[in-house]
Chains A and B, each alone.
Chain A
Amino acid sequence: MTEVERWGLFELAVDSVAVEFRHESGEAAYVESFGGTVRFMPSLEGEWHYTLAGETQHLTCTQALSRGPVQRSGSSLRWADGAPYHPLTTTWFDHPDAPGDWSAALGALAASPFDRVRLRAYPTTLARLDQQVRNLLAIDVGADILVTDRAIIRELAQRLGAYRNVTWCLEAGPELRASAELLAEYDSGRHLISVHATPTDVDPGPPWVSHLSVPLENLRGVSALRRDYGKPVHVDACGYEGNGSSPFTSLTPQELLTRIWEGTIRGAHVAHGEWYVDADGGPWSGGGSRPTGVVVQRLRLLREVLDELPDGVEPIDDYRDAPTLAVPGSYYLQYLGEHQFPDRTFSLPAGDYLVEVLDVWNHSVRRSRETVTDSLTVRLPGTQYQAIQIRRAA
């Protein structure tokens, strides 16, 4: 009896071009082979069957050992098991003709606060990419695959579609709808599909685009994107920390960190990037060996905050002068960016609250417990890059 866990990887040597796996419920997946192999990720527990050389074969899908692939749920992303998804992404685009030191990079990723990395797929590097995504799967890091060439869509789907850690990102170009639909047709894992483009260049509204992947330098724009499209928003590129020769690759660490926080508290997932031209092994986001900048360390605080965000948290409009995530009545997270507020006042239901003032830049946290009748004024140090986290005490 062949067994594989739900959202695990089932590999099978075949002679045929394609295999249809059919679940007892009637659900089915169409999987094309490459190099004599099909890879299949069963999405449901229970009995699956498929036909090889005229004979019906059986596959038993057992209980999941992971949270599965990431899926869209309205304007949020969730793991397939329903858990909230709050990734921290970095960017690692090596050059097709000058591969970076992947084993060093993989080690750096494993030790970093990141759990998702953007990689670029080139026609000449698919086997290498395949191995990289497999390595990432083993350490539970997501791989957002930037598809640079329409001609490789089918092979990408054949190779990577069964890896649960994959999401797809198409480069803007002609025939985008056809590309997205082609990818959806061949991707047996039915992973998320986005297009890396500003909405004025490519409308992200159609249903064949599962979420937004935008370049955006003014992160205050996230709120309008969420309102206009009702879809999850990834800001793929908000600028790189570094000393590169363009404005985009020479952000100060303070600026990149505040952009990531600003966008995150407005409800987006904001990717990190780093471009120090003199880094050992080259700029991290150009396929370097390890991130050498400041922001990667400062993001550990954000990682901790994201890991503890309550389910159902959403940006709220109540505080028009500062972005605020909340579960109204029980949880608030407000970010004050470059402004040096002396204090902030919140309207809260009566009760006891745990209040934290997070100094995002200095990575320090000041905690207090407050009893509230109808409002709470939180004193601040009067410096930049402060966040306030308020939790209702149990």
Chain B
Amino acid sequence: MKVERWGMHELTLSGPADGNPYADVELRVTYRYRNRVVTVDGFYDGDGVYRARFMPDREGRWEYVTRSTAPELDGQRGSFECIPPGPGNHGPVGVHGAHHFAYADGTRYDCIGTTCYHWTYESKEIQELTLASLRAAPFDKVRMCLLPTDSMRPDRTPFAGPDSFDPAFFRHFESRVADLLELGIQADLILFHPYDRGVWGFDRMTFEQDAAYLKYVVARLAAYRNVWWSLSNEYDFNHNKTVADWDRLLQLVQRLDPYQRLRSIHNGTKMYEVFTPYDFSKPWITHQSVQHWDGAEVAAWRACPKPVVIDEIGYEGNAGRRWGNLTSTELVHRFWQGMALGGYVGHGESFVDRETRAWISVGGRLYGESPERIAFLRSIMAGLPRRADGDLDCVLHYLGDRQPSSVELALPADTSYRFDLIDTMAMAISELPGRFSGRCRIPLPARPYLALRGVR
């Protein structure tokens, strides 16, 4: 048997089907390369079938042995050969330097995501449409929920009962994570959210229920190399849990996850007024998953040595709420503000009167004008020279919504720069005449949404 590096080895075993196997049976599998061992939790997949999934990170021979409370699942041994990664497989994304990301093979990861909270709960047609839309869009990450909201009435949820799970739900959900992987898109999985309001009760489970759910989710999904963990959306809107509870759940996911996928927790806001982010300096947090309306705040947040990802900065659309009725121009402007300062910004769209419902909720079709401009921004960011730590090694000066006729820059006196003028909305680049160094004045066409790119 052969498995690609950063691919997935899946072990399938037959075991007890009686009682409640989700709670009664422990299965762990220890994988070994030379002397290094990695232990993963297995999981019950229904009908007497148990599985364990593992992502090898070294080429060569891996051996495994099972340990289980059920004798028929215990002490099973085997091996496989880990072969070089195939085309497009750059490995999982991790943090690079203090404020950036890279794939395991060193390739830069740009982190321009979008949000489709419950796209996997939609009809097959809408799900396929979502994938087609994503294929054509500039996004490399999707934020998506496992648990339904209070207003949804799905046939299946992750839970089949208070202490058992629905394998069919997960098999479908995983197939969609795999579809995203195929598209080179990260799946930022939102494990809890406050939009339950007690209807399902998933927002107010006991710690033991939360822990069993997280263990099951991590056992099933951690081996997909595109998975990220977002412990909760708008954690501070859930009044059934305290920050200490979230600490405990984040720590638990850290203990369960053999690979240490990227892990954060996303705050809510009362737009323009209330902002209570989780303390991202806590060691079990890998990056800052922020909701905030102002990309200019990135500079302050970079004081914490972890990547800043504004996963929600407001959405393009025409919804009846402030967070969902930004113009394309306003959203793109906020992107440029945040990204020019060394942060990352996520997209969302909520047009409520179109053929398909709001993209942020269901996926479907994109109607806005921002994705095209975000694609342009992505191409600009990808082409910039960078230092080893991922920070820019050039000038990227975004002029925002002002219309200056010139700007004064303080450049190194001993280095000569040439500048391009970037029209972020018209998506046009023009080279400015001349060379600049030291304290210099650069003439501008006096209209908003321009950026200057200066390279040596």
**Which residues of A approach B to under 8 Å, CB–CB?**
26-30, 161, 181, 184-188, 190, 199-200, 203-207, 228-230
Which 3 pairs, one residue from A and one from B, show the smallest C-beta to C-beta distance?
Answer: A184-B36, A203-B283, A30-B34
What are some 30 contacts across the A-B interface (CB < 8 A)? A26-B77, A28-B32, A29-B35, A30-B34, A30-B35, A161-B35, A184-B35, A185-B33, A185-B35, A185-B36, A185-B58, A186-B34, A186-B35, A187-B35, A188-B35, A190-B35, A200-B283, A203-B284, A205-B251, A205-B260, A205-B283, A205-B284, A207-B38, A207-B39, A207-B255, A207-B260, A228-B247, A228-B251, A229-B251, A230-B251
A205-B251, A228-B251, A229-B251 known; A184 and B37 CB under 8 Å? yes
B73-101 contacts to A (CB < 8 Å) = 77
**Which residues of B approach A to under 8 Å, CB–CB?**
32-39, 58, 63, 65, 77, 247, 251, 254-255, 258, 260, 281, 283-284
**B253: nearest chain-A partner, CB-CB:** A205
B78 to chain A, nearest CB (A): 9
- In the complex, what distance in Å separates the CA atom of A204 from the CA atom of B58? 23
A256 to chain B, nearest CB (A): 27
Contacts of A188 in B (CB 8 A): 35
Contacts of B260 in A (CB 8 A): 205-207
A19 to chain B, nearest CB (A): 12
- In the complex, what distance in Å separates the CA atom of A10 from the CA atom of B58? 29
Contacts of A161 in B (CB 8 A): 35
B390 to chain A, nearest CB (A): 14
Residue in A26, A30, A203, A205 whose beta carbon sits within 8 Å of that of B255 in the complex:
A205
Pick from B39, B283, B284 the residue with the most CB of A within 10 Å: B283
A196 to chain B, nearest CB (A): 15
Contacts of B36 in A (CB 8 A): 181, 184-185
- In the complex, what distance in Å separates the CA atom of A188 from the CA atom of B63? 15
B38 to chain A, nearest CB (A): 7
B63 to chain A, nearest CB (A): 7
Residue in B35, B58, B247, B255 whose beta carbon sits within 8 Å of that of A230 in the complex:
B255
**B39: nearest chain-A partner, CB-CB:** A207
**A30: nearest chain-B partner, CB-CB:** B34
Contacts of B39 in A (CB 8 A): 207
Q: Are B35 and A205 in contact (CB under 8 A)?
A: no
Q: Are B65 and A26 in contact (CB under 8 A)?
A: yes
- In the complex, what distance in Å separates the CA atom of A185 from the CA atom of B36? 4
Q: Are B34 and A185 in contact (CB under 8 A)?
A: yes
Contacts of B38 in A (CB 8 A): 207
Q: Are B281 and A200 in contact (CB under 8 A)?
A: yes
Contacts of B58 in A (CB 8 A): 185
Contacts of A190 in B (CB 8 A): 35, 37
Contacts of A30 in B (CB 8 A): 34-35
- In the complex, what distance in Å separates the CA atom of A161 from the CA atom of B65? 23
- In the complex, what distance in Å separates the CA atom of A206 from the CA atom of B251? 10
- In the complex, what distance in Å separates the CA atom of A185 from the CA atom of B58? 10
- In the complex, what distance in Å separates the CA atom of A26 from the CA atom of B77? 8
B59 to chain A, nearest CB (A): 13
Contacts of A230 in B (CB 8 A): 251, 255
Q: Are B258 and A207 in contact (CB under 8 A)?
A: yes
